[in-house]
Amino acid sequence: MEFSHLLNRKEFGSISNLGNVMSIEEALELLNSWVKNEKLVFHMKQVGHLMRAYAAAKMYDTETQYLWYLAGLLHDADWDQWPDEHCRKIIEELEARNQDPRLMKAIASHGPSYFGVEPESEMDKMLYAFDELSGFVHAYSLMRPQGYEEMEVKGVKKRLKDKGFAAQVSREDIADASERAEIPVEDLIQFVIDNQLRQV
Ligand SMILES: [Fe+2]
Ligand SMILES: [Fe+2]
């Protein structure tokens, strides 16, 4: 039997915990104890940063911005030590900590083809959209002598067409996420270039 990451559930957390979010200190402590891979921590910080920047650009209130940030910051927290249990493990942990159900729902839907959970809210869709794209643009920055400087959308698009480059990044997921978010992939790439966290 082939291994499956399917979550096989649709409900996450409890509605009575709406608005309940851990502090940044608690979130970083969780990452510190669960994730030994520095690159993975940086990836989650990058996605969290993009999520908050996007919510801020949409003029959402600071609570909403923070919720979006946390979703990005924690979405792969279990990947390092429990890849077979990704993302069930982090969802159950957040449920045990009585976190806002929107947080777990967004994390549960950050890869619909793997976890079998549809991104529905705007936060769900943007986490899915930024996840792979953030990693891809970062990989591109690492191969450019000038890093992020003068990076252009067309350069990123060219690399997307080059199947050998960052081959682990699913082009299908990037296209699917852009479609679901109803944001052209070019606009998403531009947003990532402009807002990506560049330093650890
Ligand atoms: Fe993931
Ligand atoms: Fe990720």
The pLDDT tens digits of the residues spanning 119-172 come to 999 999 999 999 999 999 999 999 999 999 999 999 999 999 999 999 999 999
Neighbours of ion ligand 1 (CB under 5 A): 76
Say how many Å lie between the CA of residue 53 and the centre of ligand 1: 20
- Residue 3 pLDDT: 72
Q: What is the CATH number of domain 20-195?
A: 1.10.3210
Where residue 4 falls among pLDDT bands split at 50, 70, 90?
confident
| Mean pLDDT for all residues in the chain | 96
- Residue 1 pLDDT: 47
Contacts of 168 (CB under 8 A, 6+ apart): none
Say how many Å lie between the CA of residue 126 and the centre of ligand 2: 12
Reduce the DSSP state of residue 99 to 3 states and report it.
Answer: coil
End-to-end CA distance of the chain: 40
Where residue 93 falls among pLDDT bands split at 50, 70, 90?
very high
Residue ranges of the domains in the chain? Answer: 20-195
Start-end of H helices in the chain = 24-34, 38-57, 62-74, 88-96, 101-108, 112-115, 122-143, 153-161, 171-181, 185-195
What mean pLDDT do residues 1-23 have? 91
Say how many Å lie between the CA of residue 44 and the centre of ligand 2: 6
Say how many Å lie between the CA of residue 110 and the centre of ligand 2: 8
**Of the listed ranges 3-12, 19-28, 160-169, the one predicted with least confidence:** 3-12
Degrees (nearest 5) of the Cα angle 189, 194, 196? Answer: 85
The answer to whether the pTM exceeds 0.95 is yes
